[in-house]
Amino acid sequence: MKNEQYILAIDEGTTSVRAILFNHQGQIVGQAQRLIHQSFPQPGWVEQDPIEIWNNTETVISEVLFQTETPPYKVRAIGISNQRETTVVWNRKTGKPIHNAIVWQSKQTSDLANQLKEAGYQELIQQKTGLLIDSYFSATKLQWLLDQVPQAREQAEAGDLLFGTIDTWLLWKLTNGHVHATDMTNASRTMLYNIHTLEWDEELLNLLHIPKQMLPAVEESSHFYGYTQEFTFMGVQIPITGIAGDQQASLFGELALEPGMTKNTYGTGAFIMMNLGTQPQTSAYGLLTTIAYSVNGEVNYAFEGSVFTAGAAVDWLKDQVKLVQDVTETAHQAQAAASNNQLYVVPAFNGLGAPYWNQAARGAIFGITQQTDDKQLVKATLESLAFQTRDVLETMSKETGLPVKSLMVDGGVSKNEYLMQFQSDILDTTITRAPLTETTALGVAYLAGLQVNYWPDLATIKAIIRSTSSYQPQMAASERKSRYAGWQRAVQATQFFAEENHD
């Protein structure tokens, strides 16, 4: 349409950054993507160059506008979604980072996290932040930077250094240093933000020796943050009105906006979130409590459970054991496999996540016979993703008392037809796959668009017709029970071996 305007979503992930234009129907008008390099200074350390992230962000913005012949004045607003927990510290005056960004996966602050656990701070931190102590979150990364970079602590205490997750860094750059802010979803992943008082927690800041003046202002996910600098969009200043961490943006993009509504993003790992509504709950079984989104003065919370190995297990079939030449073959291979319901693959390549939280566990295969072939191994590997998802969802249901009536799915592996049917079968529930795999970008586009009345309200967004794919359970109850019991035995045996091996 000649006069149509668009929402621009910046989706800054771990391995790439994309700029995507959406129209009023929530459809993609155009997109551009650039890879982001990772460096590994020591085993287990993962870092990225914040300047490269910014430069690539500028590039994809220009590319998508050029490719679609969209003049900047047709961009109504901008939303930013980002890899969560990744930590950047930069000089307020020069705008230069003092060190590489420390990426969420990086284990270089594990010792600091372990010291906090050993000192008995787990309960305090979980009660305040909803998180378990782990190097995954931003707090120990920030503490490490202040301790390890020469003169960083002195500069921070003098007010010369700023901290941010990647959304904050991009916002600061887009506004030419005028806005230092984040949203509640990202703040809730730092291990420094009190999700009940909705403030940076003074006790935790003192515990980790972090100067409060470094921290960004915290706003709602749908909020007017500021305008872009003039030279980014050829003199046009565009409002930035939506920010959310990637998994929360995905939940919003799936419109899982009622308590009990649940989504699973099947990526390298699998990230499962259940909407808790406006009242947070503290988990007794290793789930994280996080802020899901905040719109119009109302904060919604979620439980989150992470499966460490999902798409990575499918990649393993191709790259390491070479049972398939392309991951798209796995669905056909699984469907063609002879039945072997006693074969289980436990892909604990990097330990087991929720609800087991066993870092010592490693992968195992159970039930091999002389007749076991490549197709059966492919099938059992795919099924492991569905079993792990059920582990997390059963824990969520047990803690909340809310049954999982349906599961919304997205991410690359959600395209696997065999896995989606088996997921429905083993959960005994409906699986609904998003028509668009880019639900993270769509979610933050919705948040940005709501703020500028591009979409007047949530009802307007919900009314957009979507052609989703759905899967209904077909497995007999007795088989479902037997298959899941076998999985639980396999996981128990895997953990027993890890304990023996560890000793």
pLDDT tens by residue, 317-353: 888 889 888 888 899 888 998 887 789 999 988 778 7
Could you please report the per-residue DSSP string of 73-126?
GGEEEEEEEE-SS-EEEEETTT--BSSPEEPTT--TTHHHHHHHHHTT-HHHHH
Binding site per annotation, positions for ADP: 14, 18, 268, 311, 412, 416
Read off the pLDDT of residues 187-227 as tens digits, 9 standing for 90 and up.
999 999 999 999 999 999 999 999 999 999 999 999 999 99
Check: CB of residue 171 under 8 Å from CB of residue 181.
yes
Is residue 12 classed as helix, strand or coil in its secondary structure? Answer: strand
How does pLDDT run across 66-122, given as a tens digit for each residue? 999 999 899 999 999 999 999 999 999 999 999 999 998 888 888 898 899 999 999
- Which residues does the annotation place in the binding site for ATP? 14-16, 268, 311, 412
Binding site residues, as ranges?
14-16, 18, 84-85, 136, 246-247, 268, 311, 412, 416
- What are phi and psi for residue 95, nearest 5 degrees? 75, 10
State the Cα–Cα distance between residues 330 and 172, nearest whole angstrom: 43
Pairing of strands 87-91, 161-165: antiparallel
CATH of domain 6-247: 3.30.420.40
Name the burial class of residue 43, with classes exposed (0-12), middle (13-18) and buried (19+) by CB atoms within 10 angstroms of its CB: exposed
Regarding the domain delimited by 257-433+473-503, which CATH topology (the fold level of the hierarchy) does it fall under?
Nucleotidyltransferase; domain 5 (3.30.420)
pLDDT at 165: 97
Residues 448-483 as b or e (16 or more Cβ within 10 Å = b) = bbbbbebbeeeeebeeeeeeeeebebebeeeebeeb
Which residues contact residue 261 at a Cβ distance below 8 angstroms, ignoring those fewer than 6 apart? 254, 274, 275, 406, 408
Binding residues for sn-glycerol 3-phosphate: 14, 84-85, 136, 246
State the pTM of this model.
0.88
The binding site for glycerol consists of 84-85, 136, 246-247
CATH topology match: 6-247 vs 257-433+473-503: yes
The residues spanned by each domain of the chain are 6-247, 257-433+473-503
Write the DSSP string, 346-362: E--BTBB-TTT-BTT--
